Amino acid sequence: MATPASFFQQQHLARRNSRVMVLLFLLATAAVITAVDVVVAAIYAWQSWSEALSSGPRTFAEAFAQVPIGVHLTACIAAAFIIFLVSAINVTRLGSGGAAVAKMVGGRRVEATTRDPFERRLLNIVEEMAIAAGVRVPAVYVMEGERGINAFAAGWDISSSVVTVTRGALETLSRDELQGVIAHEFSHIVNGDMRLNIRMIGVLAGILFIGSIGQFLMRSARDSDNKGSMQGYVVGLALFIVGYVGLFFARLIKAAVSREREFLADASSVQFTRNPDGIAGALDQIRTAARGSSIAGRYAEEISHMFFGQAVRLRLASLFATHPPLEERIRRVNPQFVSAEYRRRRAVAVAAGPAEAPAAGAPGFAAVQAGGRREGDIGIAWGRSAAESAKLVGALEPAKMDYAARLLKALPEPLRVSLREPDGARAAIIALLLAPKEEVLLAQLEALKSASLAALAERAATAAVYTRDLGPAYHLPVVDLALPAIRSTSDWDKQDLLRAIEAVINADRRVSLHEFVMLTLVRHQLGLHSPVPGTRKLAEVKAEVRILLSVMAHASIRVDAKGARAEALHVAMAAGATEMGLPEEVAHTALSLDIAEAALGQLKQLAPLEKARLVKGLFAAVTADGTIRVIEAELMRLVGAVLDCPLPPLIDEIDPAALAP
């Protein structure tokens, strides 16, 4: 069997780590329950011994040994109930994913229209990286009160992720250093660490809660004048000590799961940015800053494993630290790093301030002439095997960063600005779907008005001035840039956008593959995302595989002769089925937009290594003729988006402007 792509290996490893965490959590829970039982039994025995008559127990040990079984059972059941209840409540509370975590720590969402130069720089970096990595642009949050240098990424899945940065990181780091930190967080996004990290917050809250009860009882006893206050204080103190048992295990679990993932994310940051000094410099800033990477907020302990740097100061750091030592991290990413020399070089960049400079030094796009062909027919020769192609999933490549920077720079500035606010973002997406032919365009606008969306029709017509010359290579990045603003709107507004897209693409009574991609992508991104990971195998969803493979095979056909089309269709289908290890009887099936979209939804439930087989098979189908075209690349990126298998831009050699109609 072929070696799976590294992205899928990391997803599989993250799932295995999740199972390890659950096992450790159960062991920690057992330890805390035992400690609670000992405390309750000791209190019961002390009362029995101190109040005993001559016939009672003569020593405390005898009294402890005579504690009724019912007391032990009650203590254990109560402790277990509290731990599991609190864990369940916290997992549910974080059900909305990354946004819930960001708000929990006091993060403020950065609006796309911000004029703060530091925040504008941060948004630009995040947008570039998202387009280069093939993920949706995450929402961005800032922890205003935190002066330490730190950041984290959170979310149940790739499509609903957020990136949160401290104000200290924003104002202290240079652009290269901040880019290195954000690239580190993008590694966590694409490698499947976020789901595990959020689940860890929820489940560990339960074993820490007993200690919180103890703190509450101690505070209450100090503030009370009741005679029983001393007893309440003693009980609280005992539970507080038990809480340290929970804290011990919580920190041990986080350290066991987190450290190697941090080394991996550091290495990915260097690979993505092609600049080891970026992340090494950020780590060096943490090493010398007054507050380092410390977080002062009340939830620092709970989410310490998610941060870029060590968020809480610890004794026995070698045992409990969630992050490797700074010196070791710097040495691994850049063995030649010399702090004094680096600081002299960075002083110039810091003095220049956070203003954004235009991208420079990147190689130019290859010129491509359309030659009268349809836009979707333009493509490039594809020299990768199916297995090599699948390894592009989750790949963080510096060449894609260059491409993303050039693409963003090429967008008309009025369009770029309009994407930062909800109405402009919705109008831009509709404008991308408006036909170049006047009569069809008028029919599409009339369809919008008939659907009671006249205001959106008017704005879309205005936006079309800037989108009509954009080729399809721009379309998915524009959607990615528009989604953060659209996600901040009400459910009614989101539904209106979906109705508008459907009205526009159905105005001419046909749905092209490009329109299918646009509608399905937006619908998926605006829908709810389940936190339940997939476990199904390809053999269980053969019908859905057949549907998706048929869509890909049809997209790959360019010949017009009926016999030749049938032969090309068979070749593509057979190539895909063979690569997946499925029978070649997987054949052409009836297709429609709804059928294809439903199939994608089912395939999202595949386990990580099964998704690897699916993606390899789909690449085999679309590149069976040795080329990949624009529409094929769009379809592959759509599949990646829905399956949470991010694909970077596949055709970055072509100037998107050359694909304009």
Residues annotated as part of the active site: 185
Name residue, tokens 């330490």: 148
Q: Which two three-digit tokens encode residue 568?
A: 């090309």
Strands (E), 50-132: 108-109
- In the chain, the N- to C-terminal Cα span, in Å, equals 44
**Can you give the three-state secondary structure of 424-491, one letter per residue?**
HHHHHHHHHHCCCCHHHHHHHHHHHHHCCCHHHHHHHHHHHHHHCCCCHHHHHHHHHHHHHHHHCCCH
**Residue (of 347, 336, 229, 195) closest to 285 by Cα position:** 347
Give the angle 421-436-519 at the CA atoms, nearest 5°: 50
CA distance 72 to 200: 29
Strands 108-109 and 139-143: antiparallel
Alpha carbon separation from 269 to 179, 190, 272, 352, 440 (Å, rounded): 9, 12, 5, 24, 46
CA distance 361 to 612: 35
Strands 162-166 and 151-154: antiparallel
What are the two backbone dihedrals, phi and then psi, of residue 170, each rounded to the nearest 5 degrees?
A: -60, -45
Helix ranges restricted to H, 471-556:
475-487, 491-505, 513-526, 542-555
Spatial neighbors of 132 by CB under 8 A, at least 6 apart, are: 272, 396, 397, 400, 401, 403, 404, 648, 649
- Dihedral in degrees, nearest 10, Cα atoms 305, 309, 313, 318: 80
Alpha carbon separation from 475 to 32, 91, 350, 366 (Å, rounded): 54, 36, 35, 19
Percent helix, percent strand, percent coil in the chain, to nearest 5:
65, 5, 30
